[in-house]
Chain A
């Protein structure tokens, strides 16, 4: 009897079966890469803000300490974004007529808060406390990246659980002396592991990886 299929079916069937396996693998890989990509995590994506605030200028060039604006970082779980009054504490004296700062002055004048776009946000089922990290030797730039070099602010880490776990499982890789926590230009020394182990012991840093520490 006549052939039911054209002889190209031989090739097509092999290609589709082997290719299918390959395509599934590729799909999985693609999904994984998307999940880690900046499109999905907003990592290294500079966010647009109502006022183009430059950490590079303020924290880098002017050398203003992080805590001048982010006042509750040592006492509370929430570091906070500065109220308009803090901006005006300088900008009522300098750059008083700059067009770029008009939204700030307007906010102070009209008593309407500035709506900043959140750059570092964790999902609601995660509890994160700034004060304990800061007091145990985790520097600002360890998690928030080279903030003093950012003309517009972006997120430096993925903020995924794996990203947090990397330090929680091995704090000696990241911990720094308490005096350097607020230093935006700190570079980890070449003997970070050795120094880290010493500091972990000294500061009694626990590697807290129990679920309920963060998912309370």
Chain B
């Protein structure tokens, strides 16, 4: 919220409470403002749909369009409108028409969109060679015909005029040819070992890209490859490593589950495979015949989400206290009452455990991506104990060819940067200057690399600090491949030639490998030619079929059998949330902006977020009680200060508060993805950047805060909080 917005909408919560108690029973309301029915709210409503739009200045003044309209009107009034003929049009056909296009009819092509390493299969409608509408691919396991907001909005990003359009060298327009010769120099200088060469990518699940980077690393053995995904699966991966000794990929079968317990997991709206999960879940909510049984969902979460809204039983719980609850639940499932304290009423835990036990093999416990690895490990242990493995959940090898902990990987890179070891750094996608944890100080560290190359869709905060910026090709413009949540390979095929001289990641890595000029198509095809047993004609058939279907048949990763460590189920964790005198901060990926990469997408900015219906902004979400305790109401600004003794400068951020009824008490949820500086005309200046106070020691989980002064919350982070 910008400071010069409209004044705070005063809430009379007592009046709202009185109204609720008076009406008794259930009463439906859309927001606290509506419930309290203040004058400001009514004004706000009227301003939204003004009865007199002209007064609001929307029509103020006379512009060119109006003058022309007036001229047309006066000409018509003079009776001359009948005298103007239809203007002469030209009709301009193709020279060599593309195959299969029937003018006036759309064509559909199958492709996939990867997001944080997990792909959703799509059918994209193309009108006269331009992709216009995204639909889900019914044959793709990650989609089954469905899509989510990010895939739907991605077509707008393709046409975003703020995308970077040219190769840029140190702020001036350059060319691909110049880039090629510069990279040729780099290869020459860093040969043969490649000492000082670093590559930073997002989470890579594309087999082709992984193979390319691996062979690059073989060419330059001293080079290092780092992967960092701000809203990725680090916690989940570490959780499986904790539970099973090695990182694996859990695949959930929600259609098989009768009882589901979500430990702060927004599995219907976010996370790998959520499109598929939503489909599967809703299938169990459909009464199709006399034998249909509904599933039951228990949700324990901090911030109200759509998954929580679907729950049969929901408990708001601070993010830090969920681990204790998970421990108790695990114990209750095993029949042991461990007697530890928890914020959850014991009969609640007991009831959930009873329900789970009654449905052994048909239940599911799932932990949220923001929960620490220990909670994930507990969830896996509970599933194993309940006999769910192989029924409602199974495990495969990780989707990533080279799974790493993103934070640690980035930390290594930052350390190398600080010690001056980095001669050449290639950043393929991602925006680490914006979304790296604050204590890394990634911006200044980045400047220590001798030669920096960035490739991305936008000339963003990271590109600003790099020497070279190469515009990336959008997934709708490029060849590639990807994995669905269960490992199924989907080829990414372009629907339109790159609008702005963009290059795919495959093409850029090919340049570094010495294959400059090799097209993305050839890279991907050659990789699969090398991987598949089919040869020649059979391979052609296979390739065409995979392209047509949008999936490579039978490429889902096979289940592997893993067993949880023996001591895990009996571990009972110390309650970590602290007492209620401290405030915890929970960082979440934003339902519209995700990690910030979609900040310039106007559709997503305009999209009201679930439950809060906020648009164009993020806020510090608090519960009604917490707001009262902090003395804030909707629209008040709070300063969140990170008390990190190791930091060179105090890190603080100013956030607007938003009261969310149903939020856990003494907890503040901050959404990432806003406060961008160089997102584009749409995204600049919206919201605040929560990354400023996000620490690498507890990046997705919590900080601790106490109320120092009115409207200022000091956070103490990184002390005594568990992390991997």
Contact = CB atoms under 8 A, between A and B. Distances in A.
Check A-B contact in the complex, CB < 8 A: yes
Interface of A: 31, 34-35, 40, 42, 71-72, 75-78, 80-85, 107-108, 111-118, 121, 123
B27 interface: no
Contact of B90 (A34, A35, A78, A118): A118
Nearest to A111: B95
A117 B90 contact: yes
Given A83-B96, A83-B97, A123 B86 contact: yes
Contacts of A121: 86, 89
A71 B96 CA distance: 14
B96 A85 contact: yes
Contacts of B97: 83, 85
Given A35-B82, A83-B97, A123-B86, A114 B92 contact: yes
Contacts of A40: 85
Interface string B93-129: 1111100001111000000000000000000000000
13 contacts: A35-B82, A40-B85, A71-B102, A72-B105, A76-B102, A76-B104, A78-B103, A84-B94, A85-B97, A111-B96, A113-B95, A116-B90, A121-B89
A83 B95 contact: yes
A31 to B, nearest CB: 6
B88 interface: yes
Contacts of A84: 93-96
Contact of B95 (A42, A75, A85, A117): A85
B82 A82 contact: no
A118 to B, nearest CB: 4
Nearest to B79: A31
A108 B96 CA distance: 8
Given A85-B94, A113-B92, A113-B95, A80 B103 contact: yes
A102 B48 CA distance: 61
A75 B102 CA distance: 8
Contacts of A112: 95
Contacts of B92: 113-116
Nearest to A159: B86
Interface residues of B, number: 18
Interface SS majority for chain B:
loop
B91 interface: yes
B104 A83 contact: no
Contacts of B82: 31, 35
Nearest to A119: B91
A85 B95 CA distance: 6
Contacts of A42: 85-86
Contacts of B105: 72, 75-76
Nearest to B96: A85
Contacts of A107: 95
Contacts of A83: 93-97
Contacts of B95: 83-85, 107-108, 111-113
A44 B495 CA distance: 42
A-B complex: 4 closest residue pairs judged by Cβ atoms = A76-B104, A78-B104, A83-B94, A118-B89
Interface in B53-107: 82-83, 85-86, 88-97, 102-105
